[in-house]
Each structure stands twice: as C-alpha cells, then as structure tokens.
Structure 1
Amino acid sequence: MLLENLNHLSVFKALYFNGPISCPEISKITGSSIPNVAKSLTELIKTGIVEEKGFAFSKGGRKPLIYALDPDQFYIISVATDQFITKIGLVNLNNDFIGEVESFEFNLSDKTATAANLVNKIKRFIARLTIDKVKICAIGVTIPGFVDTEKGISKSFFKEEYGRLRDYITESTGYPTFLDNDSSAIALAELKFGFGREIKEMMVLNVGWGIGLGMVVKGEIFRGFSGFAGEFSHIPLFKNDKICNCGKRGCLETEVSLILIKQQAEKAIAQGETTTIKPDKKGSVDISSVMTEAAKGDALAIKLISNAGYHIGRALAVLIHIMNPETIVLSGKGSEAGKLWFAPIQQALNELCIPVLLNDSNLVLSNLGVNAQLVGGAALVIEHIDQVILKKSNSNS
C-alpha cells in the first residue's frame, strides 16, 4: 500500500485534517520539502487516493493547484459511547457522515451493557451498510472513564469481562480498532477541525452526564504520566459529604452534571414549580428539553443551568491558575444550551481568578455540534493510520 511510505502518510494526514489545500501548504504542515510533497501527490493521484480540485485563488502570480482526498477510497466506523447513549457513524475521507448516525440506549451502569452487546451493535450497523465492506479501514471507539489508550483497556467499564476491550472488538469484527476516552476524543476533534487549528493551548470542556476535560498543550493532546489526565469531574470542590461515583466525597460531579440538572428539573416540577418544561407521563424530563426551554426564557431551566454554570466556573478557576490556557472551549451534549453557560461561568471566574490570568483566557462555544465525539473517534483512527497499515501488511504477508 502506498501509504507505507512515510512521506505519503504525512501528506495523507495533512489532506484529511486540512484539505483541500495546495502543495506549498502541505509542505508547511508536514515539514517536508515541496519536491517531496509533489512526488507524493503525483503517486497518490495515480492510485486514486488524491484528486486535483482546481486552482486556488491568487492575488497575483501563478495559481497553485488544490488537492484533496478521494472521499470514498475508504471509510471509518466511529463509535461514541456516553453513560446512557451510544452513537455509531460511518465517516468518509472528507470527514462527512455517510447515511444516518445510529443512536441507541446503552446504559453503562446496566448489566446488559456488555462488550459482547456493544460488538453486536457494531456488527449489525456494518451489516446494514451498502458500501463495500473492504473499504472500512478501522473502528474508533470512544467511551467515558479511565482509558489506557496504549493497551486498549477501559479501567472503568467492560474491564472484568474481556480485559483488553480494543483487542476484543478487533477480533470480533475483523477491523483494527482504537480506543480512547470520550473527552480526549472531543478535544482531538477540536484540535483538528475546530479552534485548535489556530490555538495550541486549549482546554476542552465536555459538558455531559458528567463534566469531562480534554487538554491541548503545545498543539497536542495532554494525557499526563499514566494517560489519565483531565478528570475534571473529580476535583474535590465541595464539603457536601455526597459520595461521588468515583467513591470519594465532594467532587464537582456531585453538584454539577446533566444528570443532576435533569433530576432537579423533575423534582421542581413534581413540587409544582411553574415551568414550560414538559415531563412525560412518568414524570421523566428530557435533558434536551431543559436546554431548549432555557433558550426560550423559561425561568426554572435558566436557574438550573446558571447554578451548574457557576460551579463549573469555580472549577475552571482552579484549572486556569494551574494551566493558564489561551482558550476554554465548551463542548459536549450540554453545549446545546449555547451561550447560556457563559454568564454564570464568567461570574465565577471574575470572582475567583487572578485578573492577569483570567484576561488571557477566552471562553468559547464549540462549533462542532453534538457529534464532536464521533468526529474525534474518526480522527483517532487517522492519527493511528500507520498502525492500520502495519496490521494489514502483516495479515497479507
């Protein structure tokens, strides 16, 4: 396979994460000379992996040719699991989703949430695809909790059943699989396709059923010594004596999460508080409806998000003093509430942060949408495409 050539591989990655772009731009991204890049492009065009896309705009002089990957040369399966819902999508080399993203309930705390059941869902998704299955190059799986990306192990879920989750999925599906933490995957998506294209010191907040954190330091995902850096939810911020899921008391997650906002909304409605949030017949509230009604001005919904936002701001103040990030990006499911988070978070930051540090940190809303984790799962595969090639070469030898 041509991508076994390291120059070709670096060009391929540059086109996936930045294309369509010109030869000089690829040279700048990869650090390879223009003649070497041009040679790689010529050979990749011959195989159909790369296409010429016309000329770039130029204010003067010769217009450079623009190059892009052929989006249908091969595909990636991305699996994004949170505590309750799993999504599976097929991604092409344009980073576009092909067909509909499948979504299903998969409660990680339930006994039925086994690795075998997850694999069955993945295999059924693949079986329904109309594309040539040979063109599926790999699977990117992202899940909450402690994930050892090097060994492919989840230390929070599936750990007793099959040991190395990554290897089990690989063996069961026949496709190379890569495993990462959900918040790290969202940070990777932001690094490659969002604000990270311009900003290299960035904290990406995954506001979800818990509050996750992906850290970008010097343009790379920062994982810490053991690979588990970013456990933002478990900052011991409160003296509330509440036991967290981690077993400790007073963690941020004991006071702030979409689960708690949902529960608080249900309790308020049950007590007769006036609101436009509509529960179902069992009194259960859809968290998306809370955020939707907050955007419409519902007082209860705004209060719940504001309270949570203030506590997030308190925790972010600690983070700013330690890491001094240029930008903090709000992402995850909670980003559906949009800029409603900004005022309460900023209030806490103004109260608690040293101004010289706070003035250098911007708070922004991700523009990647609710499928950021899926995008990150696909990016995870491309980041490790050399391993995919190696495994395929070994299997063919």
Structure 2
Amino acid sequence: MPNIFNLGGEGKNAAFKKDIIKYFVANGNSTIQELAKDTLLSVPTVTKAVTELIELGYIVEYGKQETSEGRRPILYGLNPESGFFVGVEIKVDFINLGLMNFRGDMVELDDNVPCRVDNTMESVEELCRLVKQFIDKSEVDKSRIQNIMFCISGRVNSATGYSHTLYNFSEQPLTRLLSDILGYRVDIENDTRAFAYGEYTKGVVRGERDVLFINASWGLGLGIIVDGELYRGKSGFAGEFGHTHMFDNDILCHCGKKGCLETEASGSAMQRIVRRRIEEGETSFLTSHTGDIYSLESIIEAINDEDPLCIDVVEHIGQRLGESVANLINLFNPELVVIGGVLSRAGDFLLQAVGASVRKYSLSIVNRDTRLCLSKLNERGGIIGTCMLARKSILD
C-alpha cells in the first residue's frame, strides 16, 4: 500500500516536514516567513525543509503574495495531486462516495448509490464492489490513494477498527477485512463524528474550537469537538445523545430501552407523531400527497410548505430537543452548537423552537457565549467529513 509520508530522513527532520504539511493543511498557502514565524524556527531551517518537500512532490509554488511595498514573497502550498482520499458514507439502503485531493478539494462525488446494507459478508462484498467501481472510474493516479474512510452509524471504535452495530459478524477488525478486499489502508468512524468534522472543517465554524454537533435524523447523535479535536471517549462510543433517559414513556427505542430522548426528539418520533395525529382525524397537506406520505422527506416538504400540523409537530420536537441541548450547554459551555441532519432542513421552524428551550432551561451566564445555528453543509456534511477524516488519519 502507498505511504504518503515517505518524507526522507529520520527523527526530527521527518517530523518537522510532517508538521509543515499539517501547517499548510490548517492554514492554506503561506510564505516561508509566515511559516517560520508561526513555528518559531529560523528562515533557513524552514527554507531547507520546504525545498525538500517540493522535491518530494508534496508542496508547490503558488506565485507571489500581493504586497504594497518591498519584494513580494513566494507563496507555497500543498500539491493537490500528491495524495487522494476516499470517503464512504453508509446510509440505510444506499451509500455516498467521495474522492478528495490532498488539498481538501472534492474531486468526484457519487450520491445515493443503492447498496444492500445489513450484517452479512454478502453486504460487505457488495459494498467493496461499489467502492472499487468508484475508484476504477476515477481518472486520478490510483497509486496515490492513501486511505479509504468508512463512516458507519452506531457504536464504532475507530482506534481498534471494530464496528459493534453494523458489520460485526467477524472476529477480526472490520478495517482489516475491508483493507484485505480493497487493497488500500482503511479506517472507520461513527457517522455523526464524521458529520461533525465536516462541519468543523468546511461548514459553519468561524474559528470556534469547542463545538457540539447535533445529528437530528432518523435517530439522534452528538459529535463533540474539544479544542479542535474530536472527542471519542474511552471506547470510541462518546456521543450517544439520543439514548440518554429523558421520559417516563412506554415507547421502545431501537436500543431496546424505554424513555430515551430519541423516542420524543428525532425523525422517527416526528414520523410516529404525524402518523398518529393524521390517523386520529387531523388535517394535513400530506393526505393529498402520493407515495409514502409519512416519509421524513414528505414531512419536511410539508413543513416548508407551511402545513400547520407538521409545523406544530416539528416545533414540539424542537422544544424537547432544546431541553436536552440546554443540558449540554450547561455541561460543556461550548462556543458553538450546530443542528444538522435531516431535521435541520425544517430550518427556522426547528431552530427557533430549540433556541427557545435553550434560553429557558440553560443558565443565561453560560448560554450567552454559545452560538446556535443550523448546518451549512446539509446532506453533504457526512461525506465531506468522511473524506477529511481519511486525510486526517494519515496526517496523525
């Protein structure tokens, strides 16, 4: 398998070159003077390392920096062709596939590719066939594909390579199984954490380092970013927000317990409540629709068409969700809380309800420094974050 960090040299020299690459990833194109200033190293030392990285093909010149006086310094940055990363976002019955270059630009994207997703070897083989097909049709140098990252819902331990919810039929790590079939390095991550990282790197984040990402889709997940790094917990299972016990109800959650937050504040809850109220005789635009009138897509469309019943339901969901988000704000004191996932497409109908509960139930001295907003990346957040994490895994 190819290795992007054949940087030449050993010890401190190779480590320093790697740090320079990380600097360009984080800051974009820069001059040697800026790089020397930020790394607290001499200009000759930085110049030597940058020159070696240019010779290795990882860094290229991007012209001269505009300046009002003096000699214009040369801008350097990552060579986009020096490495590529594949992201695979696994959904209920389809997958999204992305190919990203070393600079972080999406080169190719295939959405909504039908795929059998279940806990069998046949499903894994079909998944790998689709990934191979996606790679084969791309025009990039296949030898420069450094990593394939799969994001999966449920309990995922990215450190050990095991998925404990999906594809957990084998004693060997899922990463090893997939790598053996595909012939590339493979990593896995929880889908909400991937979405959170996508939003952090390419979405609404404006310099914040402590961020909570709420994935409000069929279920309810939480991505936690502390000081710019994903927080995974001891076993990689941090963020099971939807399975916190909140209600004294008899609604059975898919985790097997009753009273979970997810049973009253999620896409599955919204579907159940809308269905019940219509079956009890309430009026909705949905009854005139064709197809699956109770799908989340149909309900979201009805909300944005200002259907009174669906708006009432999403506001109820938002209030319940906001009560728990208020608890998170009291616990974490984050700079930013992002609401994403399918339900975020309800826009201000959801956000205003969440915000009202946050103001009501969290401490004002805590929440006044927290910005609450909707996802910018929408449905693209998961695949973007998965590709970005494929690169981050190599860099780390």
Query: Matched residue of 1:158: which SS?
Result: coil
Q: How high is the sequence identity, in percent, across the aligned residues?
A: 29
Deviates more, 1:287-296 or 1:132-141: 287-296
Distance 1:131 1:269 in 2: 52
Asked whether 1:79 is paired with 2:116, we answer no
Give the CA deviation at 1:135.
2.1
Output the amino acid matched with 2:17. Answer: H
Asked whether 1:198 is paired with 2:207, we answer yes
Q: 1:111 to 1:383 in 2, by over 3 A?
A: closer
Distance 1:233 1:263 in 2: 16
Deviations 1:61-109 (A, max 9, x none): 5544322222222211101123443211111123222233242344655
What's 1:3 paired with? 7
Output the amino acid matched with 2:29. Answer: P
What's 1:362 paired with? 371
RMSD between superposed Cα atoms in Å: 2.7
CA contact (8 A) 1:75 1:93 kept: yes
Q: 1:56 to 1:341 in 2, by over 3 A?
A: farther
What's 1:393 paired with? none
Output the amino acid matched with 1:358. Answer: N
Q: 1:176 to 1:314 in 2, by over 3 A?
A: same
What's 1:275 paired with? 285
Gaps of 5+ in 1: 388-397
Distance 1:150 1:72 in 2: 28
Deviates more, 1:311-320 or 1:374-383: 374-383
2:296 to 271, 287, 297: 287
Q: 1:130 to 1:238 in 2, by over 3 A?
A: same
CA contact (8 A) 1:13 1:382 kept: no
Give the CA deviation at 1:264.
4.2
What's 1:379 paired with? 388
Query: Matched residue of 2:214: which SS?
Result: strand
Output the amino acid matched with 1:202. Answer: V
1:122 to 125, 131, 135: 131
What's 2:361 paired with? 352
Q: 1:219 to 1:226 in 2, by over 3 A?
A: same
Query: Matched residue of 1:346: which SS?
Result: helix
Output the amino acid matched with 1:225. Answer: K
What's 1:38 paired with? 47
Distance 1:227 1:68 in 2: 33
Asked whether 1:132 is paired with 2:141, we answer yes
1:247-396 matches, cutoff 5 A: 247-266=256-275, 271=281, 273-275=283-285, 279-281=289-291, 283-385=292-394
1:120-269 matches, cutoff 5 A: 120-161=129-170, 163-196=172-205, 198-266=207-275
Gaps of 5+ in 2: 9-13
Distance 2:263 2:73 in 1: 55
Give the CA deviation at 1:12.
1.9
Deviations 1:226-267 (A, max 9, x none): 321111111111111212121221111112222333444455
Residue-pair matches, total: 386
CA contact (8 A) 2:100 2:108 kept: no
Q: 1:300 to 1:36 in 2, by over 3 A?
A: farther
Q: 1:285 to 1:53 in 2, by over 3 A?
A: farther
CA contact (8 A) 1:16 1:94 kept: yes
Output the amino acid matched with 1:3. Answer: L
Query: Matched residue of 2:254: which SS?
Result: coil
CA contact (8 A) 2:22 2:395 kept: no
Deviations 1:261-313 (A, max 9, x none): 344445556656231686443x3444334334423423233223212211110
What's 1:53 paired with? 62
Query: Matched residue of 1:364: which SS?
Result: strand
Distance 1:323 1:363 in 2: 14
Query: Matched residue of 2:245: which SS?
Result: coil
Give the CA deviation at 1:45.
2.2
Q: TM-score, normalised by structure 2?
A: 0.87
CA contact (8 A) 1:76 1:139 kept: yes
